[in-house]
Amino acid sequence: MQTEALLRSPDIVVEPTLTVERLKAYYTTKAFGIDRDIRAVDDISLTVAKGEVYGVAGESSSGKTSLIKTIVGAIRPPLHVVGGTVRFNFGGQTYDIYDLKPDELQAIRWRHLSYIMQGSMNVLNPVRRIKHSFYDFAFPHMGLGRATFWDRVRDHLRKLDLDPGVLDSYPHQLSGGMRQRTTIALATVCTPEFIVADEPTTALDVIVQRDVLTMLRDIQRDLGSSFLFVTHDMSVHATVSDRVGIVYAGRLVEEADTPTLFRSARHPYTQHLVASLPKIGDTTRRASLSGRPPSLADPPPGCRFHPRCPLAMDVCSKEVPPLVSIAPRHRVACFAVTGAPS
């Protein structure tokens, strides 16, 4: 219902590149008689437009990594999809991720859809030169002759300010930042329309992080791809994301354009995240939330944030607040903002 409301909003004219509707994915573990459901993704709906960088923010074990795993169809037990759909739209053709056969899914990965994992610099085979990684991963998907393929790879590297000489190096000869940039080059050489990046800069030093983020931004501008950008670091979102969705305990609690989110967030959790960011040149005291992030195996009833929420009302512990549009491109799930149901 909420997605329909969003689709009707005047901003979105063409069909979005990614449409996620009421997605639910749980981890079910059975260990010696104890069954547990961990609701890592619980009823999430969102869309990503063509050429948009959509940021997903959330704390550790808030379910953001599970969310993107279910979106790219990389689902391995014990994770399984309980309900909802994920649709990609590549060049006017719609692909429903869960209707695809494994080989069809394989075909759209790399070609249309690319996934940059956390610590992905480790995907490079340590005992082979980097060009072998390019050949193994990308060559089968490009459908080009060898000479054209290598020309394309070198062009791509040059465009990303990487010396094509890296192709003849071994991964250990490169620094961590260089390796991460090389992997990003590898992930984008097929000019995918949709790129999912999961904490791509988390393990990197600040100066390198800035370089990598600039590079990702450039790629996005060059290729016109859509990005799903996941990180817990709000200041990274401030730098790269066009729109940010805040995930708390498996649910989307607020979503808005980045400037709106930083200037006038409405959900108390988002407000706290933004307000607690320390800044150089500012020593005013930063407060911290009380309580702890809930366990996904046994989340609190109603709004999952209510035990820590300064605005909590009676209804918050009983009913789940729906994600409601309060302005164009601004959705929030909070009874204190949208009014309690009568």
Q: Would you tell me which residues interact with other proteins (CB under 8 A)?
A: 29-34, 36, 59-60, 176, 205-210, 213, 232-239, 258-259, 262-263, 269, 272-274, 276-281, 283, 285-289, 292-293, 297, 308
Residue placing its CB nearer to other proteins in the complex, 7 or 275: 275
Q: Where are the alpha helices (DSSP H) in 224-295?
A: 234-240, 258-264, 268-275
Residue placing its CB nearer to other proteins in the complex, 153 or 246: 246
Residue 120 CB, shortest distance to other proteins, in Å, is 18
Given a contact cutoff of 8 angstroms between Cβ atoms, the answer to whether 195 and 116 are in contact is yes
Residue placing its CB nearer to other proteins in the complex, 165 or 176: 176
**Nearest CA among 8, 18, 39 for reference residue 320:** 39
User: How is residue 331 annotated by DSSP?
Assistant: E
Q: Is the dihedral of CA 245, 246, 252, 254 positive or negative?
A: negative
Given a contact cutoff of 8 angstroms between Cβ atoms, the answer to whether 108 and 88 are in contact is yes
Residue placing its CB nearer to other proteins in the complex, 221 or 286: 286
Residue 276 CB, shortest distance to other proteins, in Å, is 5
Q: Residue 245 forms beta bridges with which residues?
A: 56, 255
Residue 14 CB, shortest distance to other proteins, in Å, is 27
**Cα→Cα distances 4→10, 46, 85, 210, Å:** 12, 11, 14, 37
Residue 198 CB, shortest distance to other proteins, in Å, is 17
Residue 208 CB, shortest distance to other proteins, in Å, is 8
Residue placing its CB nearer to other proteins in the complex, 13 or 287: 287
